[in-house]
Chains A and B, each alone.
Chain A
Amino acid sequence: MTIKIIIIIFLGLASGLSVGSGFVAFLTVLGIIPRLTQLTKTMKMIQSYEWAVVIGALAGVWASLRDPSLNMSAYFLIPFGLTGGVFIGMLAAGLTEALNVFPILAKRIRLDGEIVILIMAIVFGKIFGSIFQWIYFVHR
């Protein structure tokens, strides 16, 4: 019995370790935290940003495993949704940049000066796709 419990504990710890380090590695590759500190010039606070990621991830684990109920006003969802959206938007932007899509595309159609227009196409596409999905698509 004890040996079974020890094996379970070990397995849980091992899988948590790999998922957690994978998440952090992914964030590092996409360079979101450096980007945010560079924009806001808060390089000194980078350690507390690390803790924000760790605590946030743990809160997510707690919420998804324990099904808590906070009984708060639904309007708390607005800042929550907005910040979550910004984070995923940055993930997507980091991924697009890592794949080197824009430089090649912009050079092909000789639009080197105004890649902003191409970025805006993707930004509006993302907003449109997301709103379309939640308002219309999922309820068909």
Chain B
Amino acid sequence: MEKTVYIRMRNRVQTRPRDPIYLKDAAQIIADDSVLSKLQKIIIHQLSEKDGNIVVIDVMKVIELISKQFDDIEVQTIGPAQTIIEVVSKSKGVSIPFFLLIWFLLFFGSALTLMNFHDDVSMRSVQEKIYTIITGKKETKPLLFQIPYSIGLGLGMILFFNHVFKKRINDEPSPLEVEMFNYQMDLDNYVILNENKESMKRVHDD
């Protein structure tokens, strides 16, 4: 009688360079106890130098390996059709000078951008006019309006990104976290199609 094995490929797996990748690393397996431990120890890929830092393992390769070793097993796959193996060489920390450079780049960049924006939309004359509308007096330095405005500017950005210095206003992910997630998904999709030799067939491949 054929035994059924259920396999669900993981989305992303991180490994060290030159490690063998076992099936249990790359996929979740449900199988009969008699074959489970053997299945888990199948080496589906041996990482080498020329692999680069991303390898895509297609589920077809996994099925092929399993059916080579066991002839009475039927494989059922669920979920993603491939696993992205990410080779993490050593855990690279953030380089502090590089980080500071970016930080100050963003800091002065946004300061300048904002000043240019204010100039572009004639913010100054509008604010003087608002001052005159409210109080009936002329004032070339309506600081009573401008200082709260400046602070509010920062508050608005924090509010939008839902971060009050890491503290959350509520539990929902911030738009930026969603954006990071989408970006990662796009990268993964690109990698799945382009690094996986099985998923494309070109005219001149032979």
Contacts and interface: CB of A to CB of B under 8 A. Distances in A.
B180 A121 contact: no
Interface size class of A (residues with CB under 8 A): 35 or more
Contact of A130 (B92, B94, B118, B172): B118
Interface of B: 92, 94-95, 98-99, 102-104, 106-115, 118, 124, 126, 129-137, 140-163, 165-166, 169-170, 172, 175-176, 179-180, 182-184
A123 B154 contact: yes
B145 A77 contact: yes
Q: Interface SS of chain B: helix, strand, loop or mixed? A: helix
A2 interface: no
A86 B152 contact: yes
Majority SS of interface residues in chain A?
Answer: helix
A29 interface: no
Contact of B110 (A31, A85, A94, A129): A129
Interface of A: 31-32, 35-36, 38-39, 41, 63-64, 67-94, 97, 100, 102-107, 109-112, 115-135, 137-139
Contact of A82 (B92, B113, B143, B151): B151
A77 B131 contact: yes
